[in-house]
Amino acid sequence: MKKIILSCVLLMGAGSLFAKDMQTLVVTTTPKMSCQNCENKIKGNLRFEKGIHKIETDLKNQTVTITYDADKTNEEKIAEAFGKIKYQVTKAGAQIEEKSCCGKCEEDKK
C-alpha cells in the first residue's frame, strides 16, 4: 500500500518538481451553517483530511474556503469529507454562474 502511494506522489510530483500545487475551493453547504458549532464541526473534521491546509468559514456569506494541496487531494475528496459529517457542498463559483446566466438574462442586460 505504501509503495503505491509513493509512486503516485512521484508521478504527480514530477511535473511540478515537487512544488506544492495549492488550490482554493469555495463552497456553500447544505444544511446551512447556522452557528459556531457548525463552523467548529466543519473545521474540526476537515482539518484532519489529507492535503487540506486551511479552512475558513464565513457564517454571514455561508461559505467555506478550503486551501488544499492539489497533489494530495481534490474537490471530490473534499466533498466526500463533508459528506462524512453530513454536509453537502456546492462549489460557490459554479452556483453563481448557473444563476447569473440562462442566456436570456445576458441578452436583457444589453
Part of the chain binding Cu ion (CB under 5 A), chosen from 9-17, 32-40, 79-87, 89-97: 32-40
CA–CA dist 15, 35 (Å, integer):
42
From 7, 16, 24, 37, residue interacting with Cu ion (rule: CB under 5 A): 37
Q: Quote the CA–CA distance of 26 and 41 in Å, as a whole number.
A: 17
Q: Among all chains, which residue has been given the C-alpha cell 453537502? A: 88
Question: Is residue 39 helix, strand or coil?
Answer: helix
Size of the site for Cu ion (CB under 5 A): 4
Pick 28 or 73: Cβ nearer Cu ion: 28
CB 70 within 8 A of CB 82: no
CA dist., res. 82 & res. 46, Å (int): 7
CB closer to Cu ion, 12 vs 38 = 38
Interface segment toward Cu ion; rule CB under 5 A; list 16-24, 28-36, 54-62, 102-110: 28-36
**Is 38 near Cu ion (CB under 5 A)?**
yes
Does 61 interact with Cu ion (rule: CB under 5 A)? Answer: no
**Which residues contact Cu ion (rule: CB under 5 A)?**
34-35, 37-38
